[in-house]
Amino acid sequence: MSDTHAHSVAFVRETEIPSSPPPYAATGPVKWLRENLFATPANSLLTIAALYVIWQILSGTMPWILNGIWNTSSLAECRQVLDGAVGACFSVLTERWNQLLFGFQYPSELYWRPTLALGLLFVAAAPVLFFDLPRKLLAFTAVYPFIAFWLIWGGTILTPIVAFAGVAAGAVVYQRLVTGSFAYGFFGGIIAAFIVWTVGGWIIPDGASETAMLTAVPSRDLGGFMLNMMLGVTCVTLSIPIGIALALGRQSSMPLIKVVCVVFIEFVRGVPLITLLFVASVMLAYFFPPESSLDLFLRVVIMITMFSSAYIAEVIRGGLAALPKGQYEAADSLGLDYPQAMRLIILPQALKISIPGIVNIAVGLFKDTTLVSVIGMFDIVGMIRGPILASTEWNGVYWELLGFASVLFFVVCYGISQYSQWLERRLATDHR
């Protein structure tokens, strides 16, 4: 190889090429349109066809919505006002607004109580959902269930206080005993809570609820979308920790715990929810002595929680299985014990992987709360199918009512979904 040739081939870069912005033509709305909507003739054709379909849908529905009547007191009156023109009778929503939201038996002068409970729910949920907020707010979250219970059901304030005292006593006993062994702490805590509740039950005088500061409202008077929200929030909150416990139990090396968890999960997953609800409303009464009437609301909560916790357990098991074995080993090799390894290392990662699955089940559960209309509870669907559609004024207003219910559910479910996506982005620390 000659010197000159080597001189022309060998190469040493002496200056770095500076980075430069992309050419202007690669950005801008025209570029976007051309690339996404009119890239090829077939693409253009599809765009035009899609625009036509959208136009058809809008031209069919928009007049109906925009021409809607909001202020009549019956379907007949509404039709009269419309006088043959296309238009929705949204006045059923305005006229039955309170029934749709609170049911038809909740005393109307007490509507502020569930409304306040809903407002406080956001305050209580905020520190759990957005963990950048100060941790001290969790104290309010801890007492919120008892406040909400008192606001919605009313009655003597002693009931929620005793309930809270029981939980607090259980927590204290757990804290004391858990250093010895988790089992001592767990069962000790439960026993302590039950003792406080039993003693509290004796202390609360009979008839205290009649003279209470807040008028007592029985469970059967709850209804409307409020009932769906209450069932949804309670059951999701309860089923996530139970689901975690079941998922860990299923992986346990202790045969008894493992068998109990597997049997529970497989049994509950194998049964339709509606069957469980019928069991709750009809069958359970046969198993309890006649004088002890477990509240229907509570029975339904237990059944839905059982149902969804079994599903959540399986989703979390998937998350646990997705973690590399090295994470367990690293936690073990540092000397962390089982509860510490789970709480600090394994569950934070497994739950993060399981977020989409858990949210999927939470959203499904929330919508499934409308099934309680089948067992005679007047949730929003129960209200629509029962008292509202059966009334002489509004017999036949299906689209507006069911559309309204759909919008309510959509807003909540879409909110949950958006939150979960934010959460996933927020927790993305692995930079894969």
* C-beta of 186 vs 197, nearer to other proteins: 186
* C-beta of 7 vs 431, nearer to other proteins: 431
Q: Which two tokens stand for residue 261?
A: 């968890």
* C-beta of 357 vs 387, nearer to other proteins: 357
Residue in the structure block whose two tokens are 């004796």: 202
Q: Does 248 bind other proteins (CB under 8 A)?
A: no
Least Å from the CB of residue 251 to other proteins: 17
Least Å from the CB of residue 354 to other proteins: 13
CA–CA dist 371, 389 (Å, integer): 18
Q: Does 176 bind other proteins (CB under 8 A)?
A: no
Q: Does 255 bind other proteins (CB under 8 A)?
A: no
**Could you say which of 94, 340, 395, 406 contacts other proteins (CB under 8 A)?**
340
Least Å from the CB of residue 325 to other proteins: 9
CA–CA dist 13, 30 (Å, integer): 39
Q: Which of residues 351-370 bind other proteins (CB under 8 A)?
A: 352
Q: Does 429 bind other proteins (CB under 8 A)?
A: yes
Least Å from the CB of residue 432 to other proteins: 6
381: amino acid identity, one letter: V
Q: Does 220 bind other proteins (CB under 8 A)?
A: no
Q: Does 333 bind other proteins (CB under 8 A)?
A: yes
Least Å from the CB of residue 247 to other proteins: 18
Answer for the pair 149, 135: CB distance below 8 angstroms, yes or no: no
Q: How big is the site for other proteins, counted in residues (CB under 8 A)?
A: 23
Q: Does 35 bind other proteins (CB under 8 A)?
A: no
CA–CA dist 388, 381 (Å, integer): 10
Q: Does 334 bind other proteins (CB under 8 A)?
A: yes
Scanning 93-101, 119-127, 323-331, 418-426 for contacts with other proteins by CB under 8 A, the matching segment is 323-331
* C-beta of 351 vs 365, nearer to other proteins: 351
Q: Does 180 bind other proteins (CB under 8 A)?
A: no
**Could you say which of 215, 252, 327, 391 contacts other proteins (CB under 8 A)?**
327
Scanning 239-247, 250-258, 345-353, 363-371 for contacts with other proteins by CB under 8 A, the matching segment is 345-353
* C-beta of 271 vs 423, nearer to other proteins: 423
CA–CA dist 203, 400 (Å, integer): 50
Q: Which long-range contacts (CB under 8 A, 24 or more apart) does 54-63 make?
A: 63/87
**Could you say which of 142, 344, 390, 411 contacts other proteins (CB under 8 A)?**
344
Q: Does 252 bind other proteins (CB under 8 A)?
A: no
* C-beta of 211 vs 429, nearer to other proteins: 429
Residues in the site for other proteins, rule: CB under 8 A? 324, 326-327, 329-337, 340, 344-345, 348-349, 352, 427, 429-432
